[in-house]
Structure 1
Amino acid sequence: MGLINKLFGGNSEPKEEKILPWIALNDLSQLESIANKSKTKTQVVFKHSTRCGISRMVMNQFVEAYGLTENDLDLHYLDLLNYRDVSNEVGYKFQVMHESPQILVIKNGVVVAHASHGEINNLDLSTFI
């Protein structure tokens, strides 16, 4: 029975869910604030499509690998389906073509790095602190 439990996930111990210090990005006025704050602290925007399996997979991998703190940078979460106007404005303001999922690293008011899809998890955010 032990082998079958191991093969088919019979472990009854619940996995602890990792919670990141997300800041909800849901208003256009926040974009100017993000640009201003980026002059003293790195700002990161994670654009996520809640209806896309790839976006969910990438986000789960991002959350699992994330090892920074609130002191290192500000981490903004954008549900681009519910806040499409904000998502569109992110592209205009920071001059980055829209993709989903997508991550933008903002310092001194400009995007210094961005990635989409699987490349998000190859981006070492610690190099931008």
Structure 2
Amino acid sequence: MEKINEIAQFEELVESKEPFFLLKHSTTCPVSAAAFEEYKAFLGEAGTNQKGYYLAVRESRELSNYIAETANIRHESPQVIFFKNGQPEWNESHWKITKDNLASIR
């Protein structure tokens, strides 16, 4: 799991066309903290070779807004977006961010 802060980093990920998950979260919200733990558990599970990235919304507001605009997905926090072939394929927010929900996405 890698933290991103810049629009250029996000653009590089999208342009690679490789599938990846992106978590947008708040470092001050308990719901976001729970989602972050579920996300870490999912990515750390044996046999999971999914690529995962995250950003802290307060630190990277410009990037968070950019992703919402370019993906055409209303911003929420916490929020996970799965990108495949450079396009958003799935997204979920708040308490629906669970290890099991994430594992069901391919």
Partner of 2:15: 36
The one of 72, 89, 111 equivalent to 2:66 is 89
Residues 97-118 of structure 1 show CA distances to partners (whole Å, capped at 9, x for unaligned) of 1000000000011110100011
CA displacement, residues 69-110 of structure 1 (integer Å, 9 cap, x when unaligned) = 68x232111011101000000101111110000000000111
Q: Aligned residue for 2:32?
A: 55
Runs of 4+ in 1 over 3 A off after TM superposition: 124-127
Q: CA deviation at 1:30?
A: 1.3
The runs of 5 or more residues in structure 2 that have no matched partner are none
The root-mean-square deviation of aligned C-alpha atoms, in Å, is 1.9
Give the equivalent residue in structure 2 for 1:79.
Answer: 56
Higher relative contact order by CA 8 Å / sep ≥ 6: 1 or 2?
2
| Cα distance between partner residues in 2 of 1:104 and 1:82 | 19
Percent identity over paired residues: 26
- Which runs of 5 or more structure 1 residues have no equivalent in the other structure? 1-21
- Of structures 1 and 2, the larger Rg is shown by 1
Q: TM-score, normalised by structure 2?
A: 0.85
Letter in 2 for 1:98: H
Q: Give the alignment of 1:20-31 within 5 angstroms.
A: 22-31=1-10
